[in-house]
Amino acid sequence: MSAPAGGIRFEKVSVAYGQHTVLDQLDLTVAPGEVMALLGPSGSGKTTALRAVAGFVAPASGRVHLGDRDVTDLPPYRRGIGMVVQSYALFPHLRVEENVAFGLRAHKVPRREIPGRVAEALELTGMADYARRHPRELSGGQQQRVAIARALAIKPAVLLLDEPLSALDAQLRSGMLAELARLHRELPDVSMLYVTHDQVEALTLADRIAVMDRARLVDVGTPQELYRRPRTEFTASFVGNANLLPVRVTGAGVSFEGVPLKVATGAAAEGAAATLCVRPHLVGLGEGPNTLRGTLGEVQWRGAVHRLYVDVAGHRVTADLRELKETPALGSDVALHFAPDDAVLLDAGVSHG
């Protein structure tokens, strides 16, 4: 089999279990060589989307394309896809090298090519020295490397990863994140679709992030775009922390609880209800161009920042301050400010497309 062209395209893909639609008309394209994270809360349909690409679930409607092939009706083993899941799914009675070879045999790779391909995949994942071990003799992170080696050994154009780090402890996780980033640099033509509910993984690894909520794609963009210019309240609060202030659009900006604020309103109609998104680390203490006055409710020291919670007319506003010379007394009146350019106006209540 010649190597299939890369890239994944979902064309209005819907999946239902009984009457329950768990993936609703997903339209999404992953370019050849791109890392796309599917980010969303549990139950939002991420794994289902991945399984539709792998061929483990059949869409009720819509088509799945890999490169220039429509694979919707192909069985999983004919799609040429590598897949890594949370639980490693290694055979405990097989040695590392046998686990990797198993995937190659399942893909009908000629017998004489198998030892070379196994060695290459183990080399790529840093597991060459462990070829003769059994899975039980490896740490969780090492087992996951073997699972990745097995997925890569078939030289897939598309690698699917379903929460691959969630079984690992925090320290191993960050090491494996760096490892996956390195693998991507060494395999620049392989498209990766990476399911996670962890925004740090998505922000760190992905070229673009597709944000899912309740069976729907609600936003897609580069990590920077989604963080700086979220389109929806859901994205604003799921990708990073956000202050979401209910405002009304005025001629000169917006009004928040009667306080005029200067912000870019774009095409928003005067008088319209909207939500203003301001990131906590862009809020400063003291007066400034846009000043909010309130009562200091709580201060948390978080190592790199002090987090202040301030009650502004019944709304809790969060400020993350890198430098705080003197902590104001709890219950005292404080002023907060933010720059007009650091606020993003979102349509009120529009959390879904």
Positions in the binding site for ligand ADP (CB under 6 A): 17, 22, 40, 42-48
- Least distance (Å) between residue 220 CB and ligand ADP: 16
Whole-number Å distance between alpha carbons of 29 and 121:
27
- Least distance (Å) between residue 46 CB and ligand ADP: 4
Best CA proximity match to 228, nearest among 214, 209, 247, 212: 209
> In the complex with ligand ADP, which residue's Cβ is closer, 196 or 318?
196
- Least distance (Å) between residue 60 CB and ligand ADP: 13
- Least distance (Å) between residue 61 CB and ligand ADP: 16
Q: Are 97 and 55 in contact (CB under 8 A)?
A: no
Amino acid at 170: A
> In the complex with ligand ADP, which residue's Cβ is closer, 163 or 342?
163
- Least distance (Å) between residue 102 CB and ligand ADP: 25
Maximal C-alpha separation, the chain: 76
Ordered DSSP codes for 250-317: -SSSEEETTEEE----TTPPTT-EEEEEE-GGG-EES--SEEEEEEEEEEEE-SS-EEEEEEETTEEE
> In the complex with ligand ADP, which residue's Cβ is closer, 226 or 277?
226
For residue 108, give the DSSP letter.
T
Whole-number Å distance between alpha carbons of 305 and 169:
24
> In the complex with ligand ADP, which residue's Cβ is closer, 59 or 294?
59
Sequence-ordered alpha helix ranges (H) in the chain: 46-54, 96-106, 114-124, 140-153, 170-186, 199-205, 223-228, 233-238
Burial grade of 90 (CB within 10 A; 0-12, 13-18, 19 or more): buried
> In the complex with ligand ADP, which residue's Cβ is closer, 212 or 277?
212
> In the complex with ligand ADP, which residue's Cβ is closer, 2 or 42?
42
- Least distance (Å) between residue 205 CB and ligand ADP: 17
- Least distance (Å) between residue 40 CB and ligand ADP: 5
How many other CB atoms are there within 10 angstroms of residue 134's CB atom? 16
Rounded to the nearest 5 degrees, what angle is found at the Cα of 291, between the Cα atoms of 259 and 325?
155
> In the complex with ligand ADP, which residue's Cβ is closer, 109 or 203?
203
- Least distance (Å) between residue 195 CB and ligand ADP: 6
Three-class DSSP category at 73: coil
According to DSSP, the residues that pair with 213 across neighbouring strands are 216
> In the complex with ligand ADP, which residue's Cβ is closer, 46 or 279?
46
Q: Are 263 and 345 in contact (CB under 8 A)?
A: yes
Whole-number Å distance between alpha carbons of 174 and 101:
28
> In the complex with ligand ADP, which residue's Cβ is closer, 23 or 346?
23
- Least distance (Å) between residue 50 CB and ligand ADP: 8
